[in-house]
Amino acid sequence: MIRAAAGRLASVMPDVETRVRLERVAQHLPRQPRPRRLAKTRLPSRSSRWQSLYDLSQDVLRGFGGAYDPEHVRGPGFVLRTWPAWEHLITSAAKRVFGVSNVASQPPQRLGRRLSSGKPSDVYVYPDLVVSEDLADRIRRVVVDAKYKGQTGTKTRNISSADLYEALAFARATDVDE
């Protein structure tokens, strides 16, 4: 059951790394005939740790996870891409707090120019949000980069160098110094 489900998912998986992993799982599991009926089955107690994967495999083989067809959706739940969902949540919250007109979502910001094959071209960065707030004496602008990366299990809570450089580029391009 698990081998058949891994093979089915691998055949429709657009992400190459995930597809290769699924194919590897399918290759390492022994070949067995696929059951004719996909009825709910309780595994023996010695195999109980495999029950949730077995149930999920049955759902995949029933068509609950092979490919998304909006006209024939039969599966429970949905697939969520984490980073767009997180970015949308942060954007929605900022618009609600600061007002739609004060929040720019992924505005192109000119960072500088570069020469490529002797030709100059502008270089742009795209922060997730630029929030403007009208204070009594000035307008304050804040750059928001909606990070969703978890740090569960890590001893240190450092910001990666890549994220720091990205934040510096956003700050420089938007002329924000706070």
Q: Is the pTM of this model over 0.85?
A: no
Range of the domain at 129: 82-174
Does 139 lie in the same domain as 86?
yes
Q: What percent of the chain has pLDDT over 90?
A: 31
pLDDT in tens, 111-152: 999 998 889 999 999 999 999 988 888 888 999 988 776 655
What is the per-residue pLDDT for 66? 47
pLDDT in tens, 74-84: 555 556 677 78
| CA terminus-to-terminus distance, the chain | 56
Question: Does residue 77 belong to any structural domain of this protein?
Answer: no
What is the per-residue pLDDT for 69? 47
SS3 assignment, position 166: helix
* Strand-pair partners of 139: 134
Buried b / exposed e along 73-104 (16+ C-beta atoms within 10 A): eeeeeeeeeeeeebbeebbeebbeebeeebbb
| Closest C-alpha to 66, from 52, 81, 79, 54 | 79
Of the candidates 54, 72, 90, which is a domain's last residue?
72
What is the per-residue pLDDT for 138? 84
Question: Does residue 31 belong to any structural domain of this protein?
Answer: yes
What is the per-residue pLDDT for 60? 81
What is the per-residue pLDDT for 113? 94
Check whether 49 has a pLDDT greater than 80.
yes
Report the chain's mean pLDDT, rounded to a whole number.
Answer: 82
Check whether 44 has a pLDDT greater than 70.
yes
Does 90 lie in the same domain as 10?
no
Q: How far apart are CA 91 and CA 148, in angstroms?
A: 13
Number of domain units in the chain = 2
Question: Does residue 159 belong to any structural domain of this protein?
Answer: yes
> Residues 25-43: what's their mean pLDDT?
80
